Amino acid sequence: MEKLRIGLIGLGTVGTGVYKSLKDFDNIEIVKIAVKNINKPRSIEISQNILTDNPYEIVNDSSIDVVVELIGGVEPAWSYIKTAIENGKHIVTANKELLAKKGEELFNLSEKHNRVVLYEAAIAGGIPIIMPIKTILAGNKISKIQAILNGTTNYILTKMDTDGASYEDVLKEAQALGYAETDPTGDVEGFDAAYKITTLGTIAFNSRIKFENVYREGITKIRKEDMKNANELGYKIKLIATATIDENNNSDVRVHPMLVSKKNMLAHIDYVTNAVAMSGHPIGDIVLSGPGAGEFPTASSVIGDILAIAREWKTTDYLLPMMRCHHHKISNPININDTYNKYYLSITAPNAIGVIAKIGTTCANKNVSLANIMQKCATDKNVAEITVITEKCLEKDIKEVIAELDNCQINSLLRVM
């Protein structure tokens, strides 16, 4: 049996899982692996003969059929992948940032050279999502996605909720356990989830989402008091990646914390687990959930892509037509200020007659209707903690409300699912 020859760029956590797992397949052979340091001690036994510190030895090797890129980031990953495609190689990648920022160029290049690019591992780790959308769900018109796509932030928010701890304390714990990076910005500021929803929305809607049009907020301003308030009101706080599209190709794509009703399944997706909820016709509502990161869950998705190529390799001149890029139109982005949402406001105000009335009047004057308002006992400094939930209203109207509540301190403003 002629083996599919693989060149692997990156031997970190996921790369190690891929290497361990692929040894069990007789029709696939990893012939070369690019690493930063050839002499670094590793948790696996591996021949020094297949290691290189020069990825161009892989992408320029005419004997290699598939390049698996697992280093992340735009550069130098893009240069390696571009060269590999131009040299006639198929690509498997887990690089969500590259897909979000260079996806259009990447897929145009791969189609020009009749190569396939697969990226199941780039969106939700071990959860199968891209291939189901392009195959089993291909007959559906998907119009809405709500997802938890980052395990680090979900772990932090879960621990803040269960332990009543502050963001700062839980972040330190997550870093100590290896769930958060030393520099956690990519996760906690929402970049990671934004990269993923950009590509996921593009695939699901069959209309390209531009990353620069994705609205993004992180979790760094969430307080333990917000967690307590949310619970009392029947909600959990989650970092939600959401995308909707209408019949006129207008898209609303964003990442930000949301109060999620405890009646909603996403409210109970805890710790490092990921989940993707989609709505469409004729399927209705569907939820896929599972491990969103880790050595073997992510490696599982990478291996699935490699096997998909292996099954059709040398049987056709046009591999995996259903998995190719078919989204050539660009969606029309809706500005966040023009969206309608329900809102949670945490307000600190003087404990004086008329404060609640002023909040209500200010909201009414700006076309904001209140669904729930709760005041807790005044503190020793004679200030009151007030929690407000609004009905659906325009984003720019709620911002005008906040601007006019000049004697009130706005502690938190969150959207409600």
Active centre residues (catalytic): 196
The closest of 44, 41, 52 to 7, measured between CA atoms, is 52
| Residues 1, 26 contacting (CB under 8 angstroms) | yes
* Residue 113 φ/ψ, nearest 5 degrees: -100, 10
Q: What contacts 261, CB < 8 A, 6 or more positions away?
A: 234, 235, 267, 417
Q: Could you give the 3-state DSSP secondary structure of residue 6?
A: strand
Dihedral of CA atoms 368, 373, 378, 383 in degrees, nearest 10, equals -10
Count other C-beta atoms under 10 Å from residue 288's C-beta.
15
| Residues 404, 331 contacting (CB under 8 angstroms) | no
Q: Which helix (H) or strand (E) holds 151?
A: helix 151-163
Count other C-beta atoms under 10 Å from residue 342's C-beta.
18
The closest of 103, 98, 89, 97 to 55, measured between CA atoms, is 89
Distance CA 173, CA 180 (A): 9
As a three-state string, the secondary structure of 186-215 is HHHCCHHHHHHHHHHHHHHHCCECCHHHCE
- Cβ burial, residue 252 (10 Å; 0-12/13-18/19+): buried
